[in-house]
Amino acid sequence: MGLADCLFLYAILVIWAMLIMNLILTIAGHRYYLKSLKNAIPDVLQTYPFVSVLVPSHNEQKVIGKTLQALLNFEYPHDRYEIIVVNDNSSDNSAAILADIQKKNPERMLKIINTDNKTGGKGKSNALNIGFGASVGEYISIYDADNTPEKKALRHLVHTLQNDDSLGAVIGKFRTRNRDVNLLTRFINIETLTFQWMAQAGRWQIFKLCTIPGTNFIMRRDIVERIGGWDIHAIAEDTEISFRIYQMGYKIKYLPSAVTWEQEPQTIPVWVKQRTRWAKGNFYVLIKNVRLLLSREKQIIKFDVIYFLSIYILFLSAILISDICFFLGALNLLHLNLEGSSIILWALAYVTFVLSVSVTLINEKGESGPDNIFLVMIMYFIYSQLWLVVAVMGLYGYAKDLIGRKELEWYKTERF
């Protein structure tokens, strides 16, 4: 067996390992979802701890008004939560919009913090630290500026966290608000359901591990104080803080009944920019925490390190090798001894992919129709391949910023 065959075999084995792992997580997530339906959250809580809801915002005039109105409409006593919007170095009309909403709701605990390029403008982590410094809540909840959470979301998050001392944070589910705009948003909707919330459910069911998604979650104030706030060097501040919560001995639970709706990118360039930022941020978190593999403590955390290592190193390299072999083979520049078997393995991999995604869609009302199943069938060839592009760009961006010691700044996702 030559070098090319060995590399191709490596690619096939890694791809299959990832597909099987994802299928296992999907099945486990399905079990957890069915179990969660039986655990009803009471309409009235025994106690209502004071909550500070932080909203980091940068040039969000198109969406911030709707987001703030949704937060004001929470089914939670109005005197038991405050909303702190950090309008961070915005150059649009956000300040005027926020001031108008504040003026119309004088009875509500609504704080608006406007920063400039001296006091802010250094990214989401820094904005969250500014908001946290002005907060007084026993619990801290975070929502992105493009979110419209359902009215019961905060109550469900609070109830779950206050009834389990082993939990450091509780995360909810986010759905695609603009799913029907075009083909891209339909793909994003399926990706969100499958590879984000169902994977989270599976990881919780098996390992009691979840990663904070950046929005629609709640955590204990004393945890933020003990870890010194958010890492201002982290682009993926949500994933980074998750690992520090793990290391404190706390769990992060996934709660599918706490739902928020968010706006997703509607054009390829905006999507590529957003996902490249995510990939770059996750490379930072991976490099920062890879040392945990050698630690004798916190054994369960090693799964998440291996999980991210598998996705961003092993799986990325396997996809690259597989695509290169396919491209060279199509040009008749490469001949593999495993070529005949590879067709069968590829077909089985494709069926496994479609099956695992379809299992997810049947759990969500209105998502398991024939139109979505067809999208899943073509998603493997189109949308999934785009992930390879953003992962490579993210790795390049991380290396470039590391070498150049670039200061962190806001990565603005264009709103529509």
Query: Which residues 6+ apart lie within 8 Å of 195 measured at CB?
Result: 22
* Share in percent of the chain as helix, strand, coil (round to 5): 55, 15, 30
Which residue spans within 13-62 are E strands per DSSP? 51-57
**Positions of the chain with pLDDT under 50:** none
pLDDT of residue 349: 82
pLDDT of residue 408: 64
pLDDT (tens digit per residue) in 114-150: 999 888 888 999 999 999 999 999 999 999 999 999 9
β-pairing verdict for 110-115 and 81-88: parallel
Are 174 and 260 in contact by the 8 Å Cβ rule? The answer is yes
pLDDT of residue 337: 75
User: Helix or strand or coil: residue 287?
Assistant: helix
Q: Give pTM, 2 decimals.
A: 0.92
Within its chain, how far is the Cα of 70 from the centroid? Answer: 21
pLDDT of residue 342: 65
**Structural domains of the chain in order of their starting residue, each with its CATH number:** 3-28+294-404 (no CATH), 43-267 (3.90.550.10)
* Mean pLDDT score across all residues of the chain: 91
pLDDT of residue 177: 94
Tell me which residue of 208, 238, 175, 258 sits closest to 28, measured CA to CA: 208
Share of the chain above pLDDT 70, in %: 97
pLDDT of residue 410: 65
